[in-house]
Amino acid sequence: DQQVKQNSPSLSVQEGRISILNCDYTNSMFDYFLWYKKYPAEGPTFLISISSIKDKNEDGRFTVFLNKSAKHLSLHIVPSQPGDSAVYFCAASAQGAGSYQLTFGKGTKLSVIP
Amino acid sequence: DTGVSQNPRHKITKRGQNVTFRCDPISEHNRLYWYRQTLGQGPEFLTYFQNEAQLEKSRLLSDRFSAERPKGSFSTLEIQRTEQGDSAMYLCASSFGLLEQYFGPGTRLTVT
């Protein structure tokens, strides 16, 4: 039973264009969402997070959008750069329920083509 | 380097042997987490400490697994009587309070 789903295993985008990575969740107790980037042979690197009381959070080239009614979030990267090529993981936790463990999706491999 | 560190980075062991991994969190972080990642999957939660207290454990953490965090600083994860299915990347993360978790580089375990 996968509670966090990233349905696109891979995505290719031209340098300078927008990258949109999507994530769906099923557990209505999730109230805190994060995106991580991972390069091979390294641990995940935190990118950006959003609490369920917000619908948008922005940090430089990265913006996360949350649609609670649809149980959907997305990460926008504008403009995309070749160094953004990595695997991106969506993660969620139910902090309001006292659980701080992160539940991850399977990841989306982003390739930014120069 | 003030990030999360993990040792060793790689471990190859024979089935049935015991292994121990160490994690040193970011110094001011009071929460420490262990995850396991296998090929093609996202990290899966194993256990979590707040200071020295172990507060959450996943059903993935069988009786062969034990984790400690003495004095609320570094943590160790021990796997007894390793099995081939234990082969994975073991990731440690730390956080301050309820904020985002920062991950270490991981320990890759191969059980032959």
Question: CA of A21 to nearest chain B CA: how many angstroms apart?
Answer: 15
Mean pLDDT for all residues in chain A: 95
Are residues B104 and B6 in contact, defined by beta-carbon separation less than 8 angstroms? yes
Quote the CA–CA distance of B81 and B75 in Å, as a whole number: 20
> Closest Cα to residue A79, out of A36, A19, A11?
A19
- Tell me whether residues A34 and B100 touch, CB distance under 8 A: yes
- pLDDT 10s digits, A1-20: 789 999 999 999 999 999 99
Chain A neighbors of B38, CB-CB under 8 A: none
Confidence (pLDDT) at A33: 96
Confidence (pLDDT) at B62: 87
Phi, psi of B43 (to 5 degrees): -60, 140
Confidence of residue B1 (pLDDT cuts 50, 70, 90): low
CA distance to A27, A73, A75, per residue, from A57 (Å):
21, 11, 10
Q: Would the pLDDT of B89 be above 90?
A: yes
Are residues A33 and A49 in contact, defined by beta-carbon separation less than 8 angstroms? yes
- Tell me whether residues B42 and A101 touch, CB distance under 8 A: no
Q: What is the DSSP letter of A54?
A: -
**Mean pLDDT, residues A21-42:** 95
Q: Would the pLDDT of B33 be above 70?
A: yes
Q: How many residues does chain A have?
A: 114
Confidence of residue B60 (pLDDT cuts 50, 70, 90): confident
Mean pLDDT for all residues in chain B: 93
- Tell me whether residues A43 and B91 touch, CB distance under 8 A: yes
The verdict on B44 touching A (C-beta cutoff 8 Å) is: yes
> Is the pLDDT higher at A41 or at A22?
A22
Chain A, 77 to 96: residues with Cβ < 8 Å from chain B are: 89, 91, 95
Name residues whose C-beta falls within 8 Å of residue B104's C-beta, 6 or more positions apart in sequence.
A43, B3, B4, B5, B6, B23, B91, B92, B93
Q: Would the pLDDT of A63 be above 60?
A: yes
The helices-and-strands tally (H runs, E runs) of chain A is: 0, 11
Q: What is the DSSP letter of A33?
A: E
Confidence of residue A112 (pLDDT cuts 50, 70, 90): very high
Confidence of residue A96 (pLDDT cuts 50, 70, 90): confident
Confidence of residue A86 (pLDDT cuts 50, 70, 90): very high
Q: Would the pLDDT of A84 be above 90?
A: yes
The beta-carbon neighbor of B40 closest among A101, A104, A106 is A106
Task: Quote the percentage of chain A above a pLDDT of 90.
Answer: 90
